[in-house]
Amino acid sequence: MLSRIADSLFWLHRYMERADGMLRLLKTSYILSFDKVQASGITWEPALKIFTTLSPEEIEVLKQNDTAVLQYILTDTKNLNSLKVIVTKARENARGVQDQITKEVWEQVNHLYHLINHHALAEKLSGPDAIVIIDTLINSSDQFLGITDSTMPRGQGWNYMNLGKFVERCLLTVEFTNVFFKKVNHDFTNEQDILYWRSLLLALSGYELHLKNSSNLNHNCNVAQQVLFDKNFPRSLYYSLDRAQKYLRDITESNPVEGISPLSRAFGRLHSSVKFSDLALVAETGLEPFLKQVRKELNEFSAMLGQIYFSYA
């Protein structure tokens, strides 16, 4: 596989995964914004903190206006991490590798691109159609995942796509978790209302799982346990890294080039720091340093992967 193609497939999926995470958090926040008496006192703050580079003061101003937030995060091209920009980048990556992805996958990325570029979209976000639009976009993102899964041949391209997806997913969960736990000072013992945690869990599609698995006591602990270590929860750090590990192994086995042992070791260290840890250990180092360390090592890994497999310029 051409290095350029591998690079594009990796980033296509990173961007699409980011778009997916963004949309889910937005939907949760948007629905919450209707409850005027908010137990938690947070609505748009997490989304703005995670997906924009605005200063705390700017966030304070913007978050008062639902439409403005939606427009800024979804369709504003001045925001370099807006959905429109991300989807455009995803599509550029897909366009450059059209011969390596199936026609169905390309058409789906293209479809999403045309949805987000619809001329009347920004305007509609101010009306009652906003939720319809978010739903349509989420639907389209879901379809992308499904179509990719059901049409893409397994092999090199598939491995790079999925590695990208799970690296991004892990990073998103780190960010979400960090922002939501910051409000409670990263404290496991302090008891927070389930209504507060519901927005985090809904944004990660893990609310139902939480209700099934956890007692009604000690929510902070249970939530942390689920998003960090639950191996059946598809957005936990544990699960994401486990999947990434599989695809990385497939890649290194079929492309045994120079420099792969440091790469495998770096990922192995990161993987074990989550896999062989537990809440008690995390509490010792502190949740925030732990999350920051995971983020740092993931970014380093991603850069190293680029150097070894994608450097073609």
Partner 1 sequence: MTGDTLFQQYPVVPHIWDEMKNSESIRQQYHTIHEAISKLNLHDLQQKDKLASELFMSQGITFTVYSDNEGIERIFPFDIIPRIITAVEWQHIETGIKQRLKALNLFLKDIYNGQQIIKDNIIPAALIATCPHFTREIFGIQVPYDIYVHIAGIDLIRGDDGTFYILEDNLRTPSGVSYMLENREVTKRIFPDLLANSNVRMINNYPLLLHDNLVSLSPRQTENPVVVLLTPGVFNSAYFEHTFLARQMGIQLVEGRDLLVDNQKVYMKTTAGLSQVDVIYRRVDDEFLDPLVFRPDSALGVPGLMSAYRKGNVAIVNALGNGVADDKAVYAYVPDMIKYYLNEEPILSNVPTYQMKNEDERQHVFDHMEKMVVKETNQSGGYGMVMGNSATKEALQEAKKMILANPRNFIAQPIIQLSTVPCLLDGKLQPRHVDLRPYALCGPNGIEIVPGGLTRVA
Q: Which of 31, 54, 76, 98 forms a contact with partner 1 (CB under 8 A)?
A: 98
Residue 87: exposure state from Cβ atoms within 10 A (0-12, 13-18, ≥19): buried
- Closest distance between partner 1 and the C-beta of residue 2, in Å? 5
Q: Which stretch binds partner 1 (CB under 8 A): 3-11, 171-179, 192-200, 278-286?
A: 3-11
Q: Which stretch binds partner 1 (CB under 8 A): 15-23, 179-187, 188-196, 305-313?
A: 305-313
- Whichever of 77 and 185 has its CB closer to partner 1, that residue is 77
Site for partner 1 in 70-89 (CB under 8 A): 77
- Closest distance between partner 1 and the C-beta of residue 160, in Å? 8
Site for partner 1 in 203-262 (CB under 8 A): 251, 254-257
User: What sign has the CA pseudo-torsion 29, 35, 39, 41?
Assistant: positive
Taking a C-beta distance cutoff of 8 angstroms, is the pair 105, 115 a contact? no
302 belongs to the binding site for partner 1 (CB under 8 A): no
Site for partner 1 in 14-73 (CB under 8 A): none
264 belongs to the binding site for partner 1 (CB under 8 A): no
Build a one-symbol-per-residue string for 151-170: x at contacts with partner 1 by CB under 8 A, - elsewhere.
-----x--------------
End-to-end CA distance of the chain: 15
The token pair that represents 309 in the structure block: 């497999």
Rounded Cα–Cα distance for residues 6 and 166 (Å): 15
The greatest distance separating any two alpha carbons of the chain, rounded to the nearest whole angstrom, comes to: 58
Residue given tokens 């906003």 in the structure block: 130
The single-letter code of the amino acid at 208 is E
Q: Which stretch binds partner 1 (CB under 8 A): 99-107, 169-177, 182-190, 195-203?
A: 99-107
Q: For residue 234, what are the contacts with CB-CB under 8 A and spacing of at least 6?
A: 205, 240
- Closest distance between partner 1 and the C-beta of residue 93, in Å? 10
Residue given tokens 């059209």 in the structure block: 98
The single-letter code of the amino acid at 62 is L
96 belongs to the binding site for partner 1 (CB under 8 A): yes
Residue 8: CB atoms within 10 Å: 26
Binding site for partner 1 (CB under 8 A): 1-4, 6, 77, 92, 95-100, 103, 106-107, 110-111, 114, 117, 156, 251, 254-257, 309, 312-313
